[in-house]
Amino acid sequence: MVRPMRIGFRRLYSRYAVIRDHALSVAVCVAITLIALFLGDFLDLANIVMLFLLAVVLIAWRGGRSPAVMAAFLSVALFDFFFVPPRFSFAVSDFQYVVTFVVMLSVALIIGQLTAQLRRQAALASIREQRTGALYEMALQLSGAVTREQTAEIAANLLGRTFNVRAVLLLADREDRLSVIPRGGPVIVPLSAELARLAYDQGKPSTFDRISYFPLRAPMRTRGVLVVAPDDATAAVHENQRQLLETVASLLAIVIERVHYVEVAHEALLNVESERLRNSLLSALSHDLRTPLTALIGLADSLTITKPVLSPPQRETAALIRDQALRMSHFVHNILDMARLQSGAVQLRKEWQPLEEVVGSSLKSVETYLGERVVKTALPADLPLLEFDAVLIERVLFNLLDNAAKYSPAGGEILIAARRRGAFVEVSVADQGPGLVPGSETSVFDKFMRGNPQSNIPGVGLGLAISRAIVEAHGGRIWATNRAGGGAEFVFALPVGNPPAIDAAFVEGIERETP
């Protein structure tokens, strides 16, 4: 109820001011007439005309155009009635007084018009000065804003105090959805979501039902919409106000974009620090675990050769201890490798070499984990030499083969294949397991992410993440798909580059020496 009462009071005061100015115009003209009558014996008619013209100027300066026009006509009428012969009558005995009346009225109207315009321009200059000061104050306060909520509060307060308008900020999130800032706050403007979305999408201001929508166009993108409504429900935003409000909207857009990037930088800094802390902890933990695990594997091996010979159940227990210790050592190596890769401590030692050698060494390393699975290879004889770090690529193949062995059934087949595709050589490892959960083809390469979180197969979800980091460090890429006949296929591609030329005579000599 407070706002309607205030609006009604403003209307009443405005009407009172108009009546007051016109009444003042009449009073001044009457006062000048009385003064002229009192001094009639001492003043000429020309001087009396000057007094009336002075009255018109004062009234125009004080009340504006309409009271000045009324004063001009009233002055001519009073001058004619009280001072032009025959007095106390509107009749004119001499034609020259008609010219006097016309000139007097014209001069009075012109002077009143010019004085009113001067007064209006002075008032507008004062308003512009106030609003320029308000813009400066807003810029000064917004320069210290660090959140979107703080920006919205500063804007609403200053716009209400300077422009007598109510303002609401609608800001876009990462999905381009507009929402009122602050969230859950009172919506003091009866806005239209459709018009706000239209202004946001088109980037152009619009007005409907005396409510204006100004898009917040920042250098990078549109950040939201400023919705403005006048305090007076029957008024509208003036054109000069509209220009200033567009300036305010541009200022707000720049501030909101700055705040956005401050939030992004803060979030990135937190992520970097948390990642650095986690890598440090993982590195320290893996270093501390390697020594006892190595000792545990050695003790398990020594149990199998002790005298007297262990019984079959005891030998089986010793073998299980060794296998689990080896698996734990594999996990620790993965953790340490990931920490090293992300810290940048690993340097690639690339050499030109055939792919077959690293495939063979990785198969030898993983044979303990293969069990009854059958591994087949399909490596074309014409594969070019590739430049890579043999130790790291062997680690990639080891992780992919270990992953395939975990999910392939006993007696299942694992296929290692390679093929050239343009400027890359693609190496694939396919299994006959249950395959990937739909939609997880990309997320399986994230750290601590497993293809099936509900699976009871041991693992911490680092092998594939390490493989991706190694392949990308070589300038390649890695991906996973489900096979048409069942199972999953992991593929990584390495760039071919410019392999060195091999002398044909040298190759023939090697073939002759080979028995």
What mean pLDDT do residues 21-39 have? 83
- Given CA atoms 240, 242, 248, 253 in this order, what sign does their dihedral have? negative
Q: What is the pLDDT of residue 274?
A: 75
Summarised one tens digit per residue, pLDDT across range 282-292 is: 666 666 666 77
Based on the fold, state whether residues 69 and 131 are members of the same structural domain: yes
Which among 198, 218, 253 is the end of a domain? 253
Nearest in space to 404 (alpha carbons), one of 489, 482, 491: 489
| CATH code for position 435 | 3.30.565.10
Cβ proximity of 400 and 429 under 8 Å: yes
Q: Say yes or no to pLDDT of 263 above 80.
A: yes
- Cite the DSSP H helix spans in 39-147: 45-63, 65-83, 95-142
What mean pLDDT do residues 340-368 have? 80
Based on the fold, state whether residues 400 and 468 are members of the same structural domain: yes
Mean pLDDT taken over the chain: 77
Based on the fold, state whether residues 94 and 172 are members of the same structural domain: no
Residue 293 domain-assigned (yes or no): no
**Token duo for residue 188:** 């003091």
**Token duo for residue 168:** 């609401």
Which among 90, 106, 136 is the end of a domain? 136
What mean pLDDT do residues 295-318 have? 76
Q: What is the pLDDT of residue 464?
A: 85
Based on the fold, state whether residues 185 and 246 are members of the same structural domain: yes
Based on the fold, state whether residues 477 and 363 are members of the same structural domain: yes
How far is residue 93 from each of residues 36, 85, 87, 90, measured CA to CA in Å? Answer: 21, 6, 10, 10
Based on the fold, state whether residues 465 and 374 are members of the same structural domain: yes
The least confident of 185-189, 315-319, 478-482, 488-492 is 185-189
Residue 210 domain-assigned (yes or no): yes
Residue 279 domain-assigned (yes or no): no
Q: What is the pLDDT of residue 513?
A: 46
Q: What is the residue whose two structure tokens read 């802390």? A: 277
- Contacts of 148-153 with CB under 8 Å at 24 or more apart are 148/181, 148/182, 148/256, 148/259, 148/260, 149/181, 149/182, 151/181, 151/252, 151/255, 151/256, 151/259, 152/181, 152/182, 153/182
| 411 alpha-carbon distance from chain centroid | 53
Residue 472 domain-assigned (yes or no): yes
Q: Say yes or no to pLDDT of 493 above 90.
A: yes
Establish whether the linkage from the previous residue to 308 is cis, with ω within 30° of 0.
yes
Residue 239 domain-assigned (yes or no): yes
Cβ proximity of 337 and 395 under 8 Å: yes
Q: What is the pLDDT of residue 476?
A: 92
| Eight-class DSSP state of 90 | S
pLDDT band (50, 70, 90) for residue 416: very high
| CATH code for position 180 | 3.30.450.40
Summarised one tens digit per residue, pLDDT across range 178-216 is: 888 776 555 566 778 888 888 888 888 888 878 888 898
Q: Say yes or no to pLDDT of 336 above 90.
A: no
pLDDT band (50, 70, 90) for residue 410: confident
Max CA distance (Å), the chain: 155
Q: What is the residue whose two structure tokens read 């407070």? A: 2
Q: What is the pLDDT of residue 6?
A: 44
Using alpha carbons only, what angle is made at residue 281 by residues 398 and 321, rounded to the nearest 5 degrees?
Answer: 50
Task: Report the C-alpha gap between 263 and 1 in whole angstroms.
Answer: 40
Domain hosting residue 124, numbered range: 2-136
Using alpha carbons only, what angle is made at residue 114 by residues 111 and 116, rounded to the nearest 5 degrees?
Answer: 105
Residue 280 domain-assigned (yes or no): no
Q: Say yes or no to pLDDT of 339 above 70.
A: no
Highest mean pLDDT among 286-295, 420-429, 442-451: 420-429
Based on the fold, state whether residues 98 and 49 are members of the same structural domain: yes
How many beta carbons lie within 10 A of that of residue 91, not counting itself? Answer: 10
Find the distance separating the first CA and the last CA of the chain, reported in whole Å. 106
Based on the fold, state whether residues 359 and 489 are members of the same structural domain: yes
Based on the fold, state whether residues 17 and 50 are members of the same structural domain: yes
Residue 26 domain-assigned (yes or no): yes
What mean pLDDT do residues 78-86 have? 77
Rounded to 10 degrees, the C-alpha dihedral 12/18/21/26 comes to -120
| Eight-class DSSP state of 323 | H
Q: Are strands 424-430 and 413-421 parallel, antiparallel or unpaired?
A: antiparallel
Rounded to two decimals, the pTM is: 0.48
Based on the fold, state whether residues 406 and 481 are members of the same structural domain: yes
Based on the fold, state whether residues 373 and 484 are members of the same structural domain: yes
How far is residue 178 from each of residues 172, 247, 306, 325, measured CA to CA in Å? Answer: 4, 21, 74, 55
3-state percent breakdown (helix, strand, coil) of the chain, nearest 5:
60, 15, 25
Cβ proximity of 193 and 205 under 8 Å: no
165-172, strands of its sheet edge to edge: 178-181, 165-172, 222-230, 211-217, 206-208
Which among 109, 136, 163 is the end of a domain? 136
Residue 50 domain-assigned (yes or no): yes
User: What is the tally of structural domains in the chain?
Assistant: 3
User: Residue 139: what are its φ and ψ, rounded to 5°?
Assistant: -60, -40
Based on the fold, state whether residues 173 and 211 are members of the same structural domain: yes
